[in-house]
Amino acid sequence: MTEFDFIIIGAGAAGLMLADGLGKDPAFKDKQILLLDKDSKNKNDRTWCFWEKDEGPFEEIVSKRWESIYFGGKEHKKSYAITPYSYKMVKGLDFYRHFLPKISSYPNVHFRQEAVTSVNEEPNGFVKVETPSARYHTKQVFNSLFSYESLGEHPKYPILQQHFIGWFVKTKEPVFNAGRATFMDFSVDQKDNTRFMYVLPFTEKEALVEYTLFSPSLLKDEEYEQAIRDYMISEFNSPEYEITEKEKGSIPMTCYDFSQHNTDRIFHIGTAGGWSKPSTGYTFMNTARKTKALIQHLKEEKNLSDFQQKSRFWYYDLLLLNILYRRNDLGRSIFESLFRKRKPQLILKFLDEETRWYEDIYIMMAPNPIPFIKSLIRHAFWVISAEKKRW
């Protein structure tokens, strides 16, 4: 049985960022680190998008950036310049090709393509991690593997999903505005849900066109794909195109306490650790920030149980998710009010959780306040009821 100081399970964004951060930090040069993933990471299995000011740490693998975005609602449709922000995209394959060679250059970091079959804490203070071909011992596991089953049948907080299917399409004629990303287009039939199209144009003839929902339940694949077909005709008058790639995904949108799955020896990271922004599903830059903070936490030898802290933004997210869980059809009007009444730069700053309290209030005054007041009252009653049951 081979022993390591740290074992990281999953070589996605969180796993690779953590392996790289530990490998390049001199404070961990004497630590032996193992990264495990069942895949070889040689396919473009996903894309990550984010916004940021100026150049950032992922600049060399950003495949496309947009300086303006489009929002389309029922009554409000507008393109916005988002300077000083840029909206950026990183392809999964570029990310893997960038980080895997980096971690292989660190003498104390080891990547092995093995599927993890079990993770068990032992009485001696170690964790045993098993794969079909090996058993490993460690005192600390960082697990990035997420499944909806881990949330249980009756979670404490409502759970929505940001679920989507996207087509990478190539058209015969130039139909896309290559300098503008479609952030949200609610012109599609809402069908009592929160449904929108998301378009990332790479050239005038190539784009990712994605049908996205914020709702509790998934659809059949054909419903997503028919929506994309209809949109290609209604929005771009383009019935003829080539589909070069497809992507499909589901991201949890919830204020569920993921930290309850942590122990002294097993700590969850990435989506499995609750690092996806509950109200939007955006994960990439939040993971980068959380990874940096986690490494500093480890350097200071702080208890990992103190790492996860709720901020006021957690409560804002909770109010919105409570509304959309009960009235999923209100999504379009809420987002439309935000973009109609507030500048996109302030909205992006708010979603990055960088606003001051008075900016928070200004943002939250944009939509109809009644659903939010009702959501706040429901939550207050729930908290009071929960406290009474405890006593």
Beta bridge partners of 9: 36, 143
Strand order in the sheet with 77-81: 77-81, 68-72, 180-185, 194-201, 206-215, 159-171, 241-254
Domains of the chain, by residue range, sit at: 2-62+91-153+255-306, 159-252, 312-386
Lowest mean pLDDT among 38-47, 282-291, 363-372: 363-372
pTM (predicted TM-score): 0.93
* CB burial of residue 123 (10 Å; 0-12, 13-18, 19+): exposed
| Sequence-separated (6 or more) residues with CB below 8 Å from residue 71 | 77, 78, 80, 183, 184, 185, 335, 336, 339, 344
Residue 211 exposure: Cα atoms within 13 Å on the Cβ side: 22
Q: What kind of architecture, by CATH, is found in domain 159-252?
A: 2-Layer Sandwich (3.30)
Query: What percent of the chain has a predicted confidence (pLDDT) above 90?
Result: 89
Taking only the tens place, the pLDDT of each residue in 178-230 is 999 999 999 999 999 999 999 999 999 999 999 999 999 999 999 999 999 99
Output the average pLDDT for the chain: 94
| In contact, 216 and 325? CB cutoff 8 Å | yes
Arithmetic mean of pLDDT, 114-122: 96
In whole angstroms, give the CA distance from residue 86 to residue 64.
10
What pLDDT is recorded for position 384?
46
Domains 2-62+91-153+255-306 and 159-252 share a fold: no
| In contact, 100 and 41? CB cutoff 8 Å | yes
CATH of 2-62+91-153+255-306, one of 3.90.1150.10, 3.30.2290.10, 3.50.50.60, 3.30.1280.10: 3.50.50.60
Strands 68-72 vs 180-185: parallel, antiparallel or unpaired: parallel
* Centroid of chain to Cα 325: 19
| In contact, 251 and 147? CB cutoff 8 Å | no
In whole angstroms, give the CA distance from residue 274 to residue 241.
38
What is each CA distance from 193 to 86, 118, 190, in whole angstroms? 29, 38, 5
Q: Is the dihedral of CA 282, 288, 289, 295 positive or negative?
A: positive
Lowest mean pLDDT among 35-49, 63-77, 153-167: 153-167
